[in-house]
């Protein structure tokens, strides 16, 4: 057993002859918000896929919400029922309205009745500012609105752990600030643990209790969000932050 919401030890992932992870130790406390940053190809998104069982590591142990997910399918399914993930590709059902997309999750995972699930879905759409768009289909919504539907759908199942993979990557620049505000507000008033992979340093600064910096399959540096981003200890992180600042 482990006292952590997420407890990863000695994680190695190989794709062909490539070491995607090279012995990572990674922990997240209950209720903690952790943001993972780093250049493309450093293994950030792969880490999230390991945590939800979409990728099996070559070596290591992975505990999620008290379940050793590499031990059995039953443990993996138990962890999945309490974990929500929002992928870069939102995977909304094209032929379902926003309301029905959101209601589907609490019906399947929580066993709510159709009416209960729809009431919960309506409340969450209102929470993310989309109450008036409940009857629209994904193709009738903007990219930012679709992203909010995906967030509402995930949170409607009341997860204990939320995983976010580049939540602002598909948004136009003028929509990013609104998404930062929404995620910051949601994180502040919920006690779930959160792991967010992002290139958006503004999101990391506002959202993170702790920031983890990964490069080439290794954790190079980690620390309190504001402190780490303002006073990096390694030249590698300082160079990365300078590069991102010039790109923004």
Judge whether residue 4 has pLDDT over 80: yes
State the pLDDT at residue 101.
96
Nearest to 192 by CA among 103, 86, 108, 88: 86
Q: Decide the pairing of beta strands 59-64 and 6-15.
A: antiparallel
Confidence tier at 38 by pLDDT (50, 70, 90): very high
State the pLDDT at residue 29.
94
Are the CB atoms for 109 and 184 separated by under 8 Å?
A: no
Judge whether residue 248 has pLDDT over 90: no
pLDDT, tens digit (0-9, with 9 covering 90-100), for 185-238: 777 766 789 999 998 888 888 889 999 999 999 999 999 888 899 999 999 999
The tokens for 45 are 């998104």
pLDDT, tens digit (0-9, with 9 covering 90-100), for 48-85: 999 999 999 999 999 999 999 999 999 999 999 999 98
Judge whether residue 19 has pLDDT over 90: no
Are the CB atoms for 213 and 222 separated by under 8 Å?
A: yes
pTM, two decimal places: 0.90
For the chain, which domains are there? 29-55+71-82+159-248 (3.40.50.300), 89-158 (no CATH)
Q: Decide the pairing of beta strands 67-68 and 59-64.
A: antiparallel
pLDDT, tens digit (0-9, with 9 covering 90-100), for 135-176: 999 999 988 889 889 989 988 988 999 999 988 776 677 677
pLDDT, tens digit (0-9, with 9 covering 90-100), for 78-113: 999 999 988 877 789 999 999 999 999 899 888 999
Are the CB atoms for 55 and 47 separated by under 8 Å?
A: no
């Amino acid at each position: 057993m482990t006292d952590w919401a997420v407890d990863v030890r000695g994680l190695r992932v190989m794709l062909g002859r490539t070491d995607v992870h090279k012995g990572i130790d990674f922990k997240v406390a209950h209720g903690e918000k952790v943001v993972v940053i780093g250049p493309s190809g450093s293994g950030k998104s792969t880490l999230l896929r390991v945590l939800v069982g979409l990728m099996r590591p070559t070596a290591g142990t992975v505990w999620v919400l008290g379940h050793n997910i590499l031990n059995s399918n039953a443990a993996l399914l138990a962890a999945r029922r309490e974990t929500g993930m929002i992928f870069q590709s939102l995977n909304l059902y094209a032929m379902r309205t926003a309301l029905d997309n959101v209601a589907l999750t609490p019906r399947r995972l929580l066993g709510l009745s159709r009416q209960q699930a729809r009431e919960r879905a309506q409340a969450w759409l209102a929470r993310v500012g989309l109450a008036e768009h409940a009857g629209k289909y994904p193709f009738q919504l903007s990219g930012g609105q679709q992203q909010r539907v995906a967030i509402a759908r995930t949170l409607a199942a009341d997860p204990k752990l939320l995983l976010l993979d580049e939540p602002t990557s598909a948004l136009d620049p003028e929509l990013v600030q609104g998404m930062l505000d929404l995620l910051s507000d949601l994180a502040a008033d919920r006690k779930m643990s959160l792991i967010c992979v992002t290139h958006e340093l503004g999101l990391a600064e506002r959202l993170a209790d702790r920031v983890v910096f990964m490069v080439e399959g290794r954790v190079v540096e980690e620390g309190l969000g504001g402190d780490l981003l303002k006073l990096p200890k390694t030249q590698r992180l300082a160079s990365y932050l300078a590069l991102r600042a010039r790109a923004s």
